[in-house]
């Protein structure tokens, strides 16, 4: 059993982990850290965390595990704050949507202590943010990708793996680079496309949504993601996201050509292939 786990940033993702740990009785103390005392107090009153502090020293004191659950743009500051306070046997993990850049920052700032850092990313979310939207079942049946770094001990990797398995997730391992390429494709790309669609539509016709069907509502749901989080993801996974956006533009260009040339068979094939693929993926 975990003695004390500190969640840095008690929002949707951190709050859902906190809830799951408490509901399954996996930690003696689930401790919250953040800047906003009144929000942390509400999270405690909602029984999402056992206790909290706005002082990082108090928050990480005697913690077995520290999970960073703030936007990836804040990691540099958090590593700087945490470094002088941690022993060599603490495990730091995270839930960040990018990995390569974060591993570089961890190595740069934590130095020798970077062996403490076991990077992880649960593939789960909602369009709502904040601990109010948190859900102890959010990770049930979801994938968590752990991207170990060279100096991680097998014990510390196992602790993080067990934690996620115990809250219902399936754990996979891959390199930070593979993670960023894959998620750049399956998550970052669709989000960029959805943000762009909404911005294109409102620019063309501010009342267009009146005539939008259910398809548009589903498609655009992810355009309600948190702006700061997505700004940080773009900056940290810049190269992969641009590569995938350019690749996608080429696919759209091919479609435009087929429509322009009225290539009836090709259009039907493109749509049938997409339908077959999508149905097999989801089914």
- Least distance CB 76 / a second copy (angstroms): 14
Using the minimum distance from each CB to a second copy, give the nearer residue, 39 or 143: 143
- Least distance CB 283 / a second copy (angstroms): 10
Using the minimum distance from each CB to a second copy, give the nearer residue, 162 or 209: 209
Using the minimum distance from each CB to a second copy, give the nearer residue, 4 or 188: 188
Residue 68 belongs to what H/E stretch? strand 65-68
Using the minimum distance from each CB to a second copy, give the nearer residue, 23 or 268: 268
- Residue 53: helix, strand or coil by DSSP? strand
- Least distance CB 123 / a second copy (angstroms): 5
- Least distance CB 246 / a second copy (angstroms): 7
- Least distance CB 256 / a second copy (angstroms): 5
- Least distance CB 105 / a second copy (angstroms): 16
Whole-angstrom distance, CA of residue 221 vs CA of residue 191: 9
CB 32 within 8 A of CB 49: yes
Using the minimum distance from each CB to a second copy, give the nearer residue, 2 or 13: 13
**What's the burial of 278, exposed, middle or buried (CB within 10 Å: 0-12/13-18/19+)?**
exposed
CB 128 within 8 A of CB 101: no
Region class of 27: left (phi > 0), else alpha (psi between -120 and 50), else beta: beta
Rg (alpha carbons) of the chain, rounded to whole number: 21
Alpha helices in the chain (DSSP H): 12-23, 37-45, 56-60, 75-82, 100-110, 154-166, 176-183, 189-204, 214-220, 227-236, 238-260, 264-282
Using the minimum distance from each CB to a second copy, give the nearer residue, 57 or 172: 172
């Amino acid at each position: 059993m975990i003695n004390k786990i500190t969640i840095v940033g008690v929002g949707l993702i951190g709050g859902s982990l906190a809830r799951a740990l408490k509901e399954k009785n996996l930690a003696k103390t689930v401790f919250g850290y953040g800047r906003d005392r009144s929000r942390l107090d509400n999270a405690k009153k909602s029984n999402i965390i056992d206790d909290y502090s706005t002082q990082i020293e108090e928050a990480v004191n005697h913690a077995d595990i520290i999970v960073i659950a703030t936007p990836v743009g804040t990691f540099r500051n958090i590593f700087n704050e945490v470094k002088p306070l941690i022993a060599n046997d603490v495990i730091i993990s995270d839930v960040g949507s990018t990995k390569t850049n974060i591993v570089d920052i961890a190595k740069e700032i934590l130095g020798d202590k970077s062996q403490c850092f076991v990077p992880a990313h649960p593939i789960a979310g909602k369009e709502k943010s904040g601990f109010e939207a948190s859900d102890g079942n959010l990770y049930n049946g979801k994938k968590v990708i752990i991207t170990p770094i060279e100096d991680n001990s097998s014990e510390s990797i196992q602790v993080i793996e067990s934690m996620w398995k115990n809250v219902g997730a399936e754990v996979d391992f891959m390199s930070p680079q593979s993670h960023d390429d894959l998620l750049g494709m399956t998550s970052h790309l669709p989000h960029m496309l959805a943000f762009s669609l909404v911005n294109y539509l409102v620019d063309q016709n501010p009342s267009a949504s009146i005539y939008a069907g259910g398809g548009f509502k589903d498609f655009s749901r992810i355009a309600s993601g948190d702006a700061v989080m997505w700004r940080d993801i773009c900056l940290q996974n810049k190269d992969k996201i641009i590569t995938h956006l350019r690749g996608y533009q080429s696919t759209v260009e091919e479609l435009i050509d087929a429509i322009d040339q009225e290539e009836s068979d090709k259009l039907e094939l493109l749509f049938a292939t997409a339908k077959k693929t999508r149905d097999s993926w989801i089914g």
